[in-house]
């Protein structure tokens, strides 16, 4: 069935002994949710994606990957109803910028107000588009 074909690893092993049919589809889904729908683990995995980001090196490809990875993690946190914007996360992401990009970012700041993760990501997305457009 489609469900079994879509599973891999531990999830596949969990349902291996079960014959998936209309009468026990809900049972199979319940087993999967009980084992894998653990919010703490899901949120932790998305936060680790951010914590494991490498510091940028001035490469356009690295910037595009960085933006994609951060956006993917932030959207995943949003899907779990978790905050995506706070001062700690902002500072962490700024520390991952190379010095040239950090200078360009600082030039865009107009006041002493604390910028947000959203502000930073909008800037980084524009910079990534510059690299993409320039080829």
Q: What digits encode the pLDDT tens for the residues 5-39?
A: 788 888 888 887 877 777 788 888 888 888 888 89
Residue 124 pLDDT exceeds 80: yes
Round the average pLDDT of the chain to a whole number and report it.
Answer: 91
Q: Are residues 87 and 102 in the same domain?
A: yes
Q: Are residues 113 and 53 in the same domain?
A: yes
Question: Mean of the pLDDT values across residues 87-110?
Answer: 97
Residue 1 pLDDT exceeds 70: no
Q: Are residues 28 and 45 in the same domain?
A: no
More confident residue, 32 or 52: 52
| Three-state SS at 23 | helix
Q: Are residues 69 and 121 in the same domain?
A: yes
Count of residues in the chain: 135
pLDDT of residue 107: 96
Q: Are residues 62 and 85 in the same domain?
A: yes
Question: Mean of the pLDDT values across residues 119-126?
Answer: 97
What is the gyration radius of the CA atoms in the chain, in angstroms? Answer: 20
Question: Mean of the pLDDT values across residues 66-95?
Answer: 96
Nearest to 114 by CA among 82, 84, 91, 83: 91
The Cα 51–Cα 45 span in angstroms is 10
pLDDT of residue 37: 83
Domain ranges, residue 30: 2-37
Residue 67 pLDDT exceeds 80: yes
Q: Are residues 30 and 80 in the same domain?
A: no
What pTM did the predictor assign? Answer: 0.79
Question: Mean of the pLDDT values across residues 108-115?
Answer: 91
Q: Total structural domains in the chain?
A: 2
The sign of the torsion formed by the CA atoms of 121, 125, 127, 131 equals positive
């Amino acid at each position: 069935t489609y469900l079994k074909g879509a599973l891999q690893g531990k999830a596949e092993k969990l349902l291996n002994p079960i014959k998936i049919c209309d009468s026990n589809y809900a049972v199979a889904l319940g087993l999967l949710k009980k084992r894998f729908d653990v919010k703490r683990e899901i949120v932790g995995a998305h936060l680790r994606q951010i914590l494991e980001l490498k510091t940028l090196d001035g490469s356009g490809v690295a910037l595009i990957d960085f933006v994609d990875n951060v956006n993917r993690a932030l959207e995943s946190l949003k899907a779990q109803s978790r905050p995506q914007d706070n001062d700690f996360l902002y500072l962490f992401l700024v520390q991952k910028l190379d010095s040239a990009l950090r200078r360009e970012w600082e030039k865009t700041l107009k006041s002493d107000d604390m910028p947000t993760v959203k502000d930073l990501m909008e800037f980084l997305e524009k910079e990534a588009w510059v690299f993409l457009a320039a080829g």
